[in-house]
Structure 1
């Protein structure tokens, strides 16, 4: 006698057992322990890859914003200083003053 489905529940069709001769070769191959272990390993690898990509993205964001906040203003200020020094050198050459060599320590 077949089991009665619960009220409001969904009844699923019976699963074919491995002893039935009409099961296909594909279903027999995909139900092997090696295939199921391979699927589990692939799932775990996908999970780790997703976490690694997310962490790498966060690290890239932190590095990028830190670079913008700390390094870019420094580069701009160094460029301004270089332009100012070149301007002073040009003015000194126009006025005929001897070029000054910065003292090295």
Structure 2
């Protein structure tokens, strides 16, 4: 035992002959090449592609809606709030001065 030289590394089992015929291929390889599996794989790839496109389009639409809201709606809300505060201030001043208050138009 001590007289045999040691070789490093891992020894792998010998490979069988090349896959020359279909009978020598393994069951998994035959299943992998079956038309049902190939069609399922293609359907999964198509579904992933459509999902990716849909998410990208949804993101773009959300960006457009968000920026439009910030540019158009937020200033309108701020202006309406200012108008309401001004009306309340006018009503408060009118009640302090004793003039008859008029309902807001």
Taking structure 2 as the reference length, the TM-score comes to 0.76
Q: 1:29 aligns with which of 28, 31, 34?
A: 31
Residue 18 of structure 1, aligned match among 18, 22, 47: 22
Q: Which structure has the higher relative contact order (CA within 8 Å, separation 6+)?
A: 2
RMSD between superposed Cα atoms in Å: 1.6
In the alignment, what sits opposite 1:39?
41
1:1-105, aligned counterparts within 5 Å? 15=19, 17-20=21-24, 23-102=25-104
How many Å apart are 1:99 and its aligned residue?
1.5
Distance, in Å, in 1 between the alignment partners of 2:20 and 2:70 is: 62
Count of matched residue pairs = 88
**Post-superposition offset of 1:30:** 1.9
- Name structure 2 gaps, 5 residues minimum: 1-17
How far residue 18 of structure 1 moved from its aligned partner, in angstroms, is 2.0
SS in 2 for 1:99: coil
| Runs of 5+ consecutive residues of structure 1 not aligned to the other structure | 1-13
SS in 1 for 2:23: coil
